[in-house]
Amino acid sequence: MVNLRITSMPTLTLLFMILTCTLVLIIPEVSATRYIVGGSNGWNSNGKVNYTDWAKEHKFYLDDWLFFVYDRNQNNVLEVNKTNYDLCNADHPVHNWTTGAGRDVVPLNVTRPYYFISGNGFCYGGMKLALFVSKPPPPPTSSPSKNGSPLESGCRIVTRAAFALAAVWALIFQVW
């Protein structure tokens, strides 16, 4: 009985720590944003969205996503270089993101400029999107600093809380 109590308390503490710290570590990935290009109008040739202006309204960070929603019978999603973006030249796409469903997801997984156009001449009507993907403002989780990382201090607080909880739990257990 006594043995069980003593061994189960550290086990519980460890469980708390693992669970909470896993959650803390997950948060930066969850905060990646998925943008529907053009908002409620989507990727559309009706001229309601100026995609240059739309891009200016947002700040794109590494590991965000673009979601192109469009009429698959008319439009597509071609990633091009700057020259072909300016010229609306769809003949040499860097990447053809078109899957055929009219719903294409593009991961913004490199910090660089991205250029997208729709083929079939719709680029000339304004279906062109240029944006820059930058590093997210908080320091990335991959920098294991000694003391300062908000993630680490957060995890430390959480660990303390877990210990406190476990202590309270042990107390209740004892009283009971």
Ligand X SMILES: *[C@@H]1O[C@H](CO)[C@@H](O)[C@H](O)[C@H]1NC(C)=O
Instruction: Give residues in contact with ligand X (CB under 6 A).
Output: 50, 52-53, 78, 81-84, 90, 92-93, 96, 98, 100, 107, 109-110, 119, 126
In the complex with ligand X, which residue's Cβ is closer, 33 or 83? 83
**Helix H or strand E segment including 95:** strand 95-96
In the complex with ligand X, which residue's Cβ is closer, 29 or 53? 53
CA–CA gap between residue 64 and residue 37 (Å, rounded): 12
Question: Under 8 Å CB-to-CB from 126, ≥6 apart: which residues?
Answer: 45, 47, 49, 50, 51
**Is the CB of residue 173 less than 8 Å from the CB of residue 32?**
no
Minimal distance in Å, beta carbon 84 to ligand X? 5
Evaluated on CA atoms 43, 45, 47, 53, the torsion sign reads: positive
Amino acid at 10: P
In the complex with ligand X, which residue's Cβ is closer, 52 or 145? 52
Minimal distance in Å, beta carbon 13 to ligand X? 37
In the complex with ligand X, which residue's Cβ is closer, 87 or 168? 87
Minimal distance in Å, beta carbon 56 to ligand X? 7
In the complex with ligand X, which residue's Cβ is closer, 22 or 109? 109
Minimal distance in Å, beta carbon 52 to ligand X? 4
User: b/e map of 129-152 (b: 16 or more CB within 10 Å)?
Assistant: bbbebeeeeeeeeeeeeeeebebb
Minimal distance in Å, beta carbon 97 to ligand X? 8
SS3 percent helix, strand, coil of the chain, rounded to 5, is 40, 20, 40
**Is the CB of residue 82 less than 8 Å from the CB of residue 52?**
no
